[in-house]
Amino acid sequence: MPLRVFNTLANEKQDFTPVRPGRIGIYVCGITVYDLAHIGHARMLSAFDVAVRFLRWAGWEVAFVRNWTDVDDKIIRRALERGQDPGQLSEHFIEECRRDMQSLGVMVADVEPKATDHIPEMQALIARLIERGNAYASQGDVYFAVRSFAGYGKLSKRHLDDLRAGARVEPGEQKRDPLDFALWKAAKPGEPASVTWESPWGPGRPGWHIECSAMCQKYLGTTFDVHGGGKDLVFPHHENEIAQSEAASGQELAHYWLHNGFITMDAEKMSKSLGNVRTIRDLLAHWDGEALRAFLLSTHYRHPINFTEAAVLEADRRVDYFYESLAKGDAYLAQKKLAGRSGSEPLGEHVLAFREAMEDDFNTAEALARLERLYGTLNARIDAKARPDEVAALLQTARALSGVLGLASRAPLEAVRQRRQIAAGRKGIDPKWVEERIGARIAARKAKDFVRADAIRAEVAARGVELRDGPGGTEWRVVL
Ligand SMILES: [Zn+2]
């Protein structure tokens, strides 16, 4: 089956045809760094991360660019509030965001350009738009003349006349038409020198939209394959990117426009005014990053997803099941003295089923369901004492396909322990207390006081801790 993607531009699912055979250039609008990233950002990050991982696994050569918007009104405002330099503030939040991304298993992109490193490219693009009659300077600002670009509205399916009704000119703006948007913003009094650049139109800084137009084309060419981002960016950000870039080059900017859906929090829109914005950092204090990732991937990226504790817990259990299964498979092969040996060959039908789901517009929800069936088979075959090479093949395939989704890639026993710490913290269980109880139980058993040993098991079980006796001693886990 060929790769199919839902293209916002065409408003339908289409067969994917690359600009250059075998290669895919992807640009995703990254984060405007003025605060900690929230779960909505996590959705965008994981949706495109999994797409890139899958495409590479499926044999495509992918060039993946995800930018940092490090100059913007919000950054400047926040920096001034804090008495900080905007550059320092954005650097700080880039680093914080990188930490969160690592916890979520989001890979570093091939290029992660920062807007402030590309001012000359933005200025060149603006100059070209003025030269071609698509933009005009006005008292230190430069505006894009929306009516000069015939295709305006083609992505968001809006008509200029409808837009005109809602458009207004902000105080201080000198636009010819209320629809026009800023490409260059004149420096305002009190703005730090670090966010002011000299230009042919006077000192100032770029508008948000032109930043992405300059960065995506610098790294991926005039016309490239996929441009992505959250649904909220369709209008005006992506519409404006198209207008600027295509007016300047006379060529299409990107063939496919992919947009991920929103997140609601307990069925409410996430917003600052409702006070229900959950940062990734805040969630990582209670949940394993991998559980959050599995939760985000459990719904198709285009659909809305509702964040509830119950839904994340379900995803957490799924991750648990994957690691427990891998650990069980490893133990089975170790017992058969086949540890580390690879299976005869990957299991065609499972690989195909997984691939089909992902080629259908990156349907991670279906891919996860199919992967779970593979884990089910793995467990069933171990329980049936299947031949070791069969188990080895199942194990290897389960690992490979999980890895494509960025899941279950840690050493299983280590992951189980790390995840146990997080679950214990969430439930207020002190690991030292559990270890102490395990010690007391071992002592009771040594003294042949089995009544007391059983009482200790029941005592920890009442707190949600399960004890497992094995050849290597007693392990414990938090019941999820
Ligand atoms: Zn952008």
Q: What average pLDDT score do residues 397-410 get? A: 97
pLDDT the model gives residue 338: 63
Q: How many whole angstroms separate alpha carbon 13 and alpha carbon 303?
A: 14
Q: Sorting pLDDT into bands at 50, 70 and 90, what band is 325?
A: very high
Distance 35 CA to ligand 1 centre (A): 18
Distance 68 CA to ligand 1 centre (A): 9
Q: Sorting pLDDT into bands at 50, 70 and 90, what band is 345?
A: low
The rounded percent of the chain whose pLDDT value lies above 70 is 98
Distance 384 CA to ligand 1 centre (A): 53
Distance 30 CA to ligand 1 centre (A): 7
Which helix (H) or strand (E) covers residue 474, if one does? strand 473-478
pLDDT the model gives residue 274: 87
Q: Which one-letter DSSP state was computed for residue 445? A: H
Q: What average pLDDT score do residues 362-381 get? A: 97
**How many other C-beta atoms lie within 10 A of the C-beta of residue 214?**
27
Task: Return the top range by mean pLDDT from 262-266, 288-292, 337-341.
Answer: 288-292
Is a pLDDT exceeding 90 seen at residue 237? yes
Distance 29 CA to ligand 1 centre (A): 4
- Spatial contact of 457 and 467, defined as CB atoms under 8 Å apart: yes
Distance 209 CA to ligand 1 centre (A): 6
Determine phi and psi for 219, rounding to 5 degrees.
-95, -20
Distance 43 CA to ligand 1 centre (A): 16
Distance 391 CA to ligand 1 centre (A): 46
Distance 295 CA to ligand 1 centre (A): 26
Domain 310-412, CATH class in plain words: mainly alpha
Distance 227 CA to ligand 1 centre (A): 9
- Spatial contact of 216 and 65, defined as CB atoms under 8 Å apart: yes
* Alpha helices by DSSP H, 336-387: 348-359, 364-383
The rounded percent of the chain whose pLDDT value lies above 90 is 90
Residue type, position 405, single letter: L
**Domain spanning 4-269: CATH superfamily:** HUPs (3.40.50.620)
Mean pLDDT computed over every residue of the chain = 95
pLDDT the model gives residue 171: 73
